[in-house]
């Protein structure tokens, strides 16, 4: 087995019995996972291999967060503590964590009923509301600096097919820009916030009974004043179309040089020319900076949510936990859950999802409208799949390119309808 984990040393640190079998599970694009069967049960062993997120203190903080979320009833799979009480085991300079194995399967939006779409939106809203509570800085302690707030971003749709109970890890966003001033919503008439449903009372009562996550080790406190709605944080600026035009020309040159030419090259050239024309027409719609931010999962999509029957069993892979506009995570997730093979969105399902999200998160339609605009702009300027294909020779995302590239075009044409689905 390639990259076999040091099972003897690891299991010695846990009261998990002796190993019977260890099988790789969807060797993710960055981190590695294994289904581990021992004399005491079945576990998920995670090797935190990605250098951007393999810092022991950061992993431990993520673990503490999922423990607190579990206390609130959020479906998560907190790690198991070792004999010494630690949840991260470092062996040979590599960080590992042991989690309970969650039996379940991933479900795309096409497999969800309208009622389940609503429950999905409500679940993400509860996640954001719960994170907002548990990540607040304890009284008398300062919030972490920008360098401690946001790990390098990951494009949440970068997944490969995973099986029952599988875990998937993500790959880095192709176009990274340095932090700049925050993003504000486009100008427009104010829209009243959607009312918060009264059935959140029990959830909010439980939030009040669970305090903030305390500091862990030498790292800065987890909490951040920026987590409170309406505050702003350090965000990457929206993509500059001038940079995108340069990238398009470089990719077109790579397509021309690729031999032998194939159907992927033909589609790539068509989409690059099409996108260049769209950007020329819409360059003046680049989103400004600013907007409310909060703590988010950072990678919420079908391959990071396991279902058991009709109900979510666990939200997994919290490596991208960070401070971002929560409404943007809601829009990005919907664009992955509800995209059809032809590159259109199932707007009725997205509308049901968005209404439930707004109620659970207490987000306003205007906040969602601003998020739709920013995510649309990101999609219009994003070519990570082509960069993987032509710059790195990595074809694992090729199957996603037809629908993803068509979505940016369709979204531009149906902008008002998409915005309406998230704000009605």
Q: Which domain CATH number covers 290?
A: 3.90.1200
Residue 229 and residue 132 in contact, taking contact as beta carbons nearer than 8 Å: yes
State the alpha helices, DSSP H only, in 258-346.
263-282, 326-337
Distance (Å, whole) CA 31 – CA 5 = 12
- 67 and 44 within one domain: yes
Answer yes or no: is pLDDT of 95 > 60: yes
- Quick check: is 173 in a domain? no
Q: Which residues constitute the domain of residue 76?
A: 7-100
- Quick check: is 174 in a domain? no
pLDDT on residue 30: 64
- Quick check: is 177 in a domain? no
- Quick check: is 170 in a domain? no
- 360 and 270 within one domain: no
Domain boundary among 65, 100, 135: 100
Q: What is the mean pLDDT of the chain?
A: 80
- 87 and 47 within one domain: yes
Alpha carbon distances (Å) from 323 to 12, 182, 257, 301, 411: 36, 12, 41, 17, 26
Distance (Å, whole) CA 38 – CA 294 = 39
- 223 and 77 within one domain: no
pLDDT on residue 302: 93
pLDDT tens-place string over residues 2-47: 567 889 889 889 988 899 999 998 755 567 889 999 999 999 999 9
Structure-model confidence comparison of residues 12 and 300, the more confident one: 300
Residue 105 and residue 307 in contact, taking contact as beta carbons nearer than 8 Å: yes
- Quick check: is 354 in a domain? yes
Domain boundary among 222, 255, 282: 282
Assign 167 a pLDDT band (cuts: 50, 70, 90).
very low
- 278 and 288 within one domain: no
- 220 and 278 within one domain: no
Assign 288 a pLDDT band (cuts: 50, 70, 90).
confident
Structure-model confidence comparison of residues 185 and 52, the more confident one: 52
pTM of the entire structure? Answer: 0.78
Mean pLDDT, range 109-115, rounded to an integer: 96
Indicate which CATH number applies to the domain containing 84: 3.30.200.20
Percent of the chain at pLDDT above 90? 62
- Quick check: is 171 in a domain? no
- 419 and 339 within one domain: yes
- 331 and 194 within one domain: yes
- 83 and 39 within one domain: yes
- 224 and 121 within one domain: yes
Percent of the chain at pLDDT above 70? 75
- Measure the CA angle with vertex 329, ends 324 and 335; round to 5°: 150
- Quick check: is 95 in a domain? yes
HSE (CB half, 13 Å, CA atoms) of 81? 6
- 260 and 117 within one domain: no
Phi–psi pair at 69, nearest 5 degrees: -65, -40
- 71 and 134 within one domain: no
Distance (Å, whole) CA 276 – CA 280 = 6
The count of domains in the chain is: 3
Domain boundary among 71, 100, 129: 100
Residue 413 CA, chain-centre distance (Å), reads 26
pLDDT on residue 396: 85
- Quick check: is 409 in a domain? yes
Assign 216 a pLDDT band (cuts: 50, 70, 90).
very low
């Amino acid at each position: 087995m390639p990259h076999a984990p040091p099972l003897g040393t690891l299991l010695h640190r846990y009261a998990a019995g002796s190993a019977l079998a260890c099988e790789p599970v969807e060797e993710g694009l960055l981190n590695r996972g294994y289904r581990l069967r021992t004399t005491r049960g079945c576990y998920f062993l995670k090797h935190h291999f990605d250098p951007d997120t393999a810092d022991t203190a950061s992993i431990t903080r993520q673990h503490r967060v999922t423990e607190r979320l579990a206390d609130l009833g959020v479906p998560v799979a907190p790690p198991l503590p070792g004999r010494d009480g630690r949840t991260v085991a470092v062996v040979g300079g590599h960080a590992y964590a042991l989690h309970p194995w969650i039996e379940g399967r991933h479900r795309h939006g096409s497999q969800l009923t309208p009622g389940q779409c609503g429950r999905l939106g409500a679940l993400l809203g509860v996640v954001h509301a719960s994170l907002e509570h548990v990540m607040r800085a304890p009284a008398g302690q300062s919030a972490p600096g920008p360098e401690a707030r946001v790990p390098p971003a990951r494009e949440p749709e970068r997944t490969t097919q995973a099986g029952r109970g599988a875990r998937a890890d993500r790959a880095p966003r192709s176009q990274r820009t340095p932090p700049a001033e925050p993003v504000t919503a486009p100008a427009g008439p104010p829209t009243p916030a959607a009312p918060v449903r009264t059935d959140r009372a029990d959830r909010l009562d439980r939030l009040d009974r669970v305090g903030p996550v305390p500091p862990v080790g030498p790292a800065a406190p987890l909490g951040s004043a920026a987590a409170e709605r309406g505050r702003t944080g350090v965000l990457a600026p929206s993509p500059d179309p001038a940079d995108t035009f340069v990238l398009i020309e470089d990719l077109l040159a790579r397509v021309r040089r690729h031999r032998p030419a194939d159907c992927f090259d033909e589609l790539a050239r068509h989409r690059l020319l099409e996108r260049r024309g769209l950007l020329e027409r819409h360059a003046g719609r680049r989103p400004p900076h600013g907007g409310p931010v909060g703590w988010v999962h950072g990678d919420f999509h079908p391959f990071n949510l396991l279902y058991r029957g009709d109900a979510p069993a666990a939200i997994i892979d919290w490596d991208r936990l960070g401070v971002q506009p929560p409404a943007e995570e809601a829009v990005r997730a919907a664009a992955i859950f509800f995209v059809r093979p032809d590159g259109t969105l199932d707007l009725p399902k997205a509308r049901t999802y968005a209404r439930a999200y707004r109620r659970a998160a207490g987000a306003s339609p205007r906040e969602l409208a601003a998020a739709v605009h920013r995510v649309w702009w990101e999609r219009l300027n994003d070519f990570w799949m082509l960069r993987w294909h032509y710059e790195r020779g990595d074809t694992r995302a090729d199957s996603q390119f037809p629908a993803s590239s068509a979505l940016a075009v369709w979204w531009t044409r149906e902008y008002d309808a998409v915005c309406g689905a998230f704000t009605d």
